[in-house]
Every structure is written in C-alpha cells, then in structure tokens.
C-alpha cells in the first residue's frame, strides 16, 4: 500500500517550520527519520494533509554538554548515539540502548526526538530516558518550554505536545562515577520491538533511583517504591519474587505470562546494574 496524497514542505528554519504548523489548514505533521511515520502513512493509519520536513534544521541536530546534563538535539539518530559520537554522560547507558533499537538501517535514520513523540509503548527511548529522568525541550509559537519526561508521555502513542509545537531536543542528566544502570529488553528476535523492557538507574550522589517497566499497553510504568528499596539494599533482595510483588503493588493487572515476563525484565535490569 502507498501513502494517501499529501503536501510537502521542507524548511531549514525553526520559526518557519512553526509558522507552517500554525498557519496552514488541515493536519500537518513534521517528518524526522520517517521510520515510524512512513510505515504508518503507507498503511494509511496516518493520513496527514501536509508533511513538514525538518531534517535540515541544524538547531535540532545540536549536541551540547553542560556540567549536569547533555543536550541531545531531536534529530540526532540512534546510530550516532550507538557509534559513541556523543559525549558519554550516562556511563554507556544511552549507547547501549541505541545499539539495541531495531537494526542498523532503521537506526541510521530514526531519531531520538521522533521516538519520544511517536511514544510507542515498546519504544526504547521513552523507557530509557524515563529511567534517566530526562527533560524534553519544546519549541512553540510562545517560545521554548521544558517538560519532565514523566509528564510528557500521557499514554500509548500520546504525548503532551501541542499540534503547533516541535521537540527541539532532550536534556539527559549526567550520571556520577558511582551511578549504576541496567537495561533489559525481551524480544522474540533481535531487531524486533520489545515484549518487555526493564530499565533501572541509581545515582547515590544525586539521590536518584528509578525503575521503569515498558512495553505494556500504556506509557512506561515507574516503580518508585521498589526503586528506593533496591537502591537501599544495593539490589541484594530484588529477586524474581520481589519483582513480581513490586509489579502487583502498582495496582496494574497483568496476565500471568506477562507478569512473569515483566518481572524477569525488571529483575535482569537490576541484576545488570549491580553486576549480579
């Protein structure tokens, strides 16, 4: 199947992209790596009237390092992160996550911003960046605003982004030398979307401990009570039963197979973090 008819605008200016988004009638969508939007349009699950190609926007390709974070422009590709082109402020976590997304052809084009906005429940960046506690930087007609990732993804394929806004990039907090992380993805085959994702980040210096489950039918689930207990015990007591208990205590319902699979993903993420 091929995409329905659409208009196409290419721009190399953020203000112009925003003004087209605001001014034109009908449903306009920005185009980044096209690795999610393209297939959806070809399947006619998405039928935008107009595509605004933002791939020439240099402002969205910027990578800048500050003492406490790394700003990663929305158009930075999974492959660029995989290849270690960016400074490593997460002790290798974002490089590891990028390398596990789909296969190289998808990673060459797919972008971190596109992944966050697409908000697939099984997407890697929504899970990993939530565990890291990232901030999303958003440009709109009223200027630039920031949103904590915890409040950005509202549900499956739904984010708190207005139709006339563009994601400029993401601030990834820098981890200290004593920080630990684990990321475990369960897939049927390499290159496929995850059946379950467990992500854990603990940084004693900043007092952060985050445990995240993704690849449910909703936005990533944050298990704060379990994360605090894991950090306090250095992961020692977080066995499979504890993981299952932590999931049950969230109040979410999972069928027995999924409960076990999600518990395994969480348990292995924590075990990886503590080298167990």
**115 lines the binding site for ligand FAD (CB under 6 A):** yes
Binding-site member from 123, 133, 173, 235 for ligand FAD (CB under 6 A):
123
CB 137 within 8 A of CB 167: yes
Rounded Cα gap, residues 161 and 15, in angstroms = 17
Q: How many residues sit in the footprint of ligand FAD (CB under 6 A)?
A: 29
Q: Return the C-alpha torsion angle 211, 238, 179, 147, nearest 10.
A: 10
DSSP bridge pairs for 71: 64, 171
Tell me which residues in 78-97 interact with ligand FAD (CB under 6 A): none
Tell me which residues in 181-240 interact with ligand FAD (CB under 6 A): 193
CB of residue 112 to ligand FAD, shortest distance in Å? 8
- Return the exposure string of 250-272: e unless at least 16 CB atoms fall within 10 Å of the residue's CB, then b: eeeebeeebbbbbbbbbbbbbbb
For residues 20 to 49, the per-residue mask of contacts with ligand FAD, x marking binding by CB under 6 A and - elsewhere, is ---------xxxxxxxxx-x----------
Q: Which is nearer to ligand FAD, 125 or 181 (CB)?
A: 125
Q: Which is nearer to ligand FAD, 39 or 84 (CB)?
A: 39
CB of residue 76 to ligand FAD, shortest distance in Å? 10
Q: Which residue, chain included where needed, has tokens 């199947």?
A: 1
DSSP bridge pairs for 267: none
Sheet holding 196-203, edge to edge: 180-186, 196-203, 208-214, 221-222
CB of residue 136 to ligand FAD, shortest distance in Å? 10
Q: Which is nearer to ligand FAD, 6 or 193 (CB)?
A: 193
For residues 150 to 179, the per-residue mask of contacts with ligand FAD, x marking binding by CB under 6 A and - elsewhere, is ----------------xx------------
Binding-site member from 93, 110, 149, 198 for ligand FAD (CB under 6 A):
110
CA distances from 232 to 75, 107, 202, 208, 227 (A): 37, 36, 10, 11, 9
Binding site for ligand FAD (CB under 6 A): 29-37, 39, 60, 74, 101-102, 106, 110-111, 113-115, 117-118, 120, 123-125, 166-167, 193
């Amino acid at each position: 199947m091929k995409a329905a008819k659409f208009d196409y605008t290419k721009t190399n200016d953020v203000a112009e992209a925003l003004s087209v988004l605001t001014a034109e009638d009908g449903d306009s969508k920005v185009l980044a790596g096209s690795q999610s939007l393209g297939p959806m349009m070809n399947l006619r699950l998405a039928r935008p009237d107009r595509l605004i190609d933002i791939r020439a926007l240099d402002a969205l390709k910027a990578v800048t390092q500050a003492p406490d974070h790394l700003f990663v422009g929305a158009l930075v590709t999974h492959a660029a992160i995989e290849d270690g082109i960016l400074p490593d402020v997460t002790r290798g976590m974002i490089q590891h996550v990028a390398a596990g997304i789909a296969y190289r052809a998808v990673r060459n084009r797919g972008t971190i911003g596109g992944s966050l906005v697409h908000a697939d429940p099984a997407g890697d960046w929504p899970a990993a960046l939530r565990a890291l506690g990232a901030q999303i930087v958003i440009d709109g007609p009223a200027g630039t605003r920031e949103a904590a990732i915890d409040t950005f993804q509202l549900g499956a394929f739904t984010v708190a982004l207005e139709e006339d806004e563009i994601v400029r990039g993401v601030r990834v907090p820098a981890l200290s030398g004593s920080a630990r992380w684990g990321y475990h993805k369960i897939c049927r085959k390499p290159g496929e979307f995850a059946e379950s994702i467990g992500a854990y980040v603990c940084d004693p210096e900043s007092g952060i401990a985050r445990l995240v489950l993704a690849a449910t039918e909703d936005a990533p689930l944050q298990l704060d009570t379990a994360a605090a207990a894991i950090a306090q015990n250095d992961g020692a007591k977080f066995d499979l039963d504890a993981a299952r208990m932590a999931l049950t205590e969230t109040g979410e319902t999972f069928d027995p197979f999924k409960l076990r699979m999600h518990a395994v993903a969480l348990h292995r993420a924590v075990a990886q973090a503590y080298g167990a």
